[in-house]
Structure 1
């Protein structure tokens, strides 16, 4: 492939109330849930076409990109990755992340490195946006390199995929816990086991500080 360059790029306590309200989500959003529930995965299928990235990543190397590519939905396999947001260039701001997502409707891969050097993140079947309710489909998953890649896919237990407000971004939930969340400054975050993905804690500890974050649009 000529010219190929690898580029890798307290929650508020009222959250419990937000979750209870999500149980009665709109029928339109309910129709988004279209994927077969799958438990934790790690083995990967055969290597697909190598992925092309728009620019260099400060988080993932070629090996990590290759491994993640094996677990992406077939509809995005082989798609190029475009870096829509990164803290190194755009700063630590969730609102800025939302602005950078405007105009994009395709899936997004969020990749993080925390202050301990741990790499983890999430694949969202839809662009990251402000929302009153959880949105997304069962294609959404969490992952962590600890140091081997672990992928946590939808269990089918609930449909709390992604929810974004001005103060936080949440991915996966259940019983008031979030599989992955980040605050409005994109600096503090947390990870807990949750019913949506039956995931392990993605970082080395439940609370972490973000060193770098990148959002790649896959289209």
Structure 2
């Protein structure tokens, strides 16, 4: 940095590594090349809104480009802002330093400027929600334009526009408003500290939109990878905003997600659902009931058919519509997950949380029926009633494998112990033993 740069800028630039500084210092000139870069009546080079719009076109939606420009203009690096309403080089450098390496205290004024649009001292919860809607939309467009969808097909998934609004509502619901139901800089600082996704999204949109690719910061995978899926036949209950929401909640992020079961492809068969879930590693269950409510649960362990509860405290329930929320372990009991089939003494079905007859989420073995009974909350997860009706009619269900299957499952594939040992099968037949597992077998193509 030259001596002409203000002390504020020099202090901010120290945060970047030596190999990053040339990248950051070139951003201003790169953006100026998209337009004239001169404010009317000024001989000083400044970044105009039109130049910024042209530079980020196709990567960042225009509403978010305007918000970024407002944040840059709000920066006061120690000198006066350039005349004509543009953004100076110093303002841009401070903005970039605060976006990539700033604290919640330093990022809060930027968010205030992006949410208010007028430089006010407070914003409303609705203004913050609208800002987050634009930010999430920009994240999705950025990931799409940069080919970073990780194998997902938005055209074969649920409504992403509705998902943007749901995710924005969820994120902005974390605001702790003042007594006057307003949000000042302190409120935003607290919000940014607790809701880390805002800073991550802003960093992605700024970096990709403005061409700031720092060598020391490889792109963060905001979406899980999707394994092979029959997208020609499948229309998933998932959408990209839901993936952005659920992915950080999971305990592991390495294995590609793989479709295991869908009523659209496998039909309404509980035995088929069981065969597709058992011994497949961690899974994500998604449902839609006849009232249009969408909800589900994460199972941290492989499902196993037995009349006891299983799983651990990493399991959780979640709602997707009409609100997007996650409900985690309360510590009250250990009724994480339950799967039973073809038993006469215990309930047959799939459940998560609560207790028998009062599950937070229950699918009956008589396919198509279920319940979500929480009065007032599920004891295991603290979730409210997730379905439209307490006893609901199931419309659609799908299951995704979201972790590596157990090693023995990978090694042995889908073979029964009887397949692995034909002599054992022959001995059992000769002694008159009934091979119960034969009647429960499904076709070989168990995965989608």
Same fold (TM over 0.5): yes
1:129 correspondence with 2:313: no
What is the alpha-carbon distance in structure 2 between the residues aligned to residue 8 and residue 71 of structure 1?
20
Would you say the 8 A contact 1:8–1:65 is kept in 2? no
The equivalent of 2:289 in structure 1 is 114
The equivalent of 2:313 in structure 1 is 138
What is the alpha-carbon distance in structure 2 between the residues aligned to residue 211 and residue 205 of structure 1?
13
Higher helix share: 2
Higher strand share: 1
2:257 alignment partner, one of 81, 93, 99: 81
1:132-154 per-residue CA deviation (whole Å, 9 max, x = no partner) reads: 21000000000002323111100
1:170/1:143 CA distance change after superposition, 3 Å:
same
Would you say the 8 A contact 2:292–2:388 is kept in 1? no
1:143/1:2 CA distance change after superposition, 3 Å:
closer
The equivalent of 2:249 in structure 1 is 71
1:78/1:147 CA distance change after superposition, 3 Å:
farther
1:156 correspondence with 2:337: no
Give runs of aligned pairs for residues 165-184 of structure 1, distance below 5 A.
165-166=340-341, 167-174=348-355, 176-184=357-365
1:88-137 per-residue CA deviation (whole Å, 9 max, x = no partner) reads: 11111221112112442x21000011112211000011122311210000
From the CA coordinates, give the structure whose radius of gyration is larger: 2
Say how many residue pairs are matched.
185
1:2/1:72 CA distance change after superposition, 3 Å:
closer
Q: How far off is 1:70 after superposition? A: 2.4
Runs ≥4 in structure 1, deviation > 3 angstroms? Answer: 6-9, 41-45
1:175/1:96 CA distance change after superposition, 3 Å:
closer
Gaps in structure 2 of 5+ consecutive residues = 1-147, 159-170, 175-194, 201-219, 342-347, 404-448
The equivalent of 1:187 in structure 2 is 368
1:138/1:89 CA distance change after superposition, 3 Å:
same
Gaps in structure 1 of 5+ consecutive residues = 10-40
1:21-46 per-residue CA deviation (whole Å, 9 max, x = no partner) reads: xxxxxxxxxxxxxxxxxxxx975543
What is the alpha-carbon distance in structure 2 between the residues aligned to residue 211 and residue 88 of structure 1?
10
What is the alpha-carbon distance in structure 2 between the residues aligned to residue 197 and residue 45 of structure 1?
23
What is the alpha-carbon distance in structure 2 between the residues aligned to residue 184 and residue 176 of structure 1?
13
The equivalent of 1:14 in structure 2 is none
TM-score normalised by L of structure 2: 0.39
Q: Secondary structure at the match of 1:88?
A: helix
Would you say the 8 A contact 1:101–1:128 is kept in 2? yes
TM-score normalised by L of structure 1: 0.76
1:210 alignment partner, one of 391, 394, 414: 394
1:140/1:192 CA distance change after superposition, 3 Å:
same
1:131/1:182 CA distance change after superposition, 3 Å:
same
What is the root-mean-square deviation of aligned Cα atoms in Å?
2.4
What is the alpha-carbon distance in structure 2 between the residues aligned to residue 107 and residue 3 of structure 1?
20
Would you say the 8 A contact 1:8–1:53 is kept in 2? no
